[in-house]
A and B are shown apart, each in its own frame.
Chain A
């Protein structure tokens, strides 16, 4: 849940990037970190293995400055996508205000996407939150990969809840900020 500190006039929100392994969650944060102005961002912290796979999480604090007298901060996290780290994902998801689900558009990844989304629903529910009310934005990543599944197919299997969804190419930045804007606004609307 978001935290509003009235004395310090601060608002903190936590957004988690979730999805199957190698889907582009870390790339999303890396692109945002590279593009956002220096004043608005903190260090990008990554706890990764020697081969650059996320082991625990990536963390990027964004400071939106003062809005109506309140210093507003968004903290972006990624989870490790590999199946092995299911319990670690539960840990990172703790207290999240919203989730970006980064799906991999490649055909052979469809099943991984579905499994990961199901797991997300279970993990959100375990936190005593109603999954259907929880702020989620979908991103269909890797749209540039030859043979990427059509958006209609991905919608059919992944977007059964009618979430806002964006097509993305995380490595070049396509759709990254549209996704971030959408989830930020959704989270703010629930404050």
Chain B
């Protein structure tokens, strides 16, 4: 099968490493929230303010911003913009690309210096890059993870939920 069409399976042990890395980034920078996204906008892991209800929408918008900046880069004959910084009155968002596949996003306020965020994000993206590499190498069969009857159950749920 076309490798681009197969799913990306993130195993339990790798998710634990990712969460540990995100928690460390929050602790070391004093940021409010850190998100790890797939380039399609799906949230892989998130750490920080427990009461954020808008994570899904944030993921979609941030990935959209990144994808849009990539097109700008192409028009400028630049390979891509690996980092983006959005500055607000209270909150700032720093976004970094991990190996063309994942996006790391740090939300922080004026109590945190951007320089510190940049340096520590660089370290975190290196660590997460090696996790991503391992995830890519995995060739776990889908049925091992989902079970063979998953598809039938899923189709039943789709029929039940998607109707007028």
Contacts and interface: CB of A to CB of B under 8 A. Distances in A.
Interface residues of B, number: 50
A90 interface: yes
Sort chain A's interface into a size bin: 35 or more
A57 B65 CA distance: 11
Nearest to A7: B15
A184 B145 contact: no
Nearest to A96: B40
A181 B155 CA distance: 8
Interface string A87-121: 11011101111000000000000000000000000
Contacts of A134: 5
A33 interface: no
A64 B158 contact: yes
B55 to A, nearest CB: 10
A57 to B, nearest CB: 6
Interface majority SS on A: helix, strand, loop or mixed?
A: mixed
Interface majority SS on B: helix, strand, loop or mixed?
A: helix
Contacts of A62: 161
Given A68-B147, A68-B150, A91-B70, A6 B161 contact: no
Contacts of B161: 36-37, 40, 62, 64-65
Contacts of A75: 40-42, 56, 60
A14 B57 contact: no
A181 B158 contact: yes
Interface in B72-87: 74-75
A150 interface: no
B151 A188 contact: yes
Contacts of A45: 57, 60-61
Interface string A107-151: 000000000000000000001111001100000000000000000
A67 interface: yes
Contacts of B67: 90-92, 94
B68 A70 contact: no
Interface in B6-37: 6-12, 15-16
B8 A2 contact: yes
A2 B151 CA distance: 14
A48 interface: no
A35 to B, nearest CB: 6
A70 B150 contact: yes
Nearest to A130: B2
B157 A94 contact: no
B51 interface: no
Given A6-B11, A128-B4, A191-B151, 13 more contacts: A1-B6, A2-B7, A3-B42, A5-B45, A6-B9, A6-B10, A6-B15, A14-B40, A40-B161, A72-B154, A75-B42, A75-B60, A91-B71
The 6 A-B pairs of least Cβ separation, nearest first, read: A95-B40, A7-B15, A91-B67, A12-B42, A87-B71, A7-B12
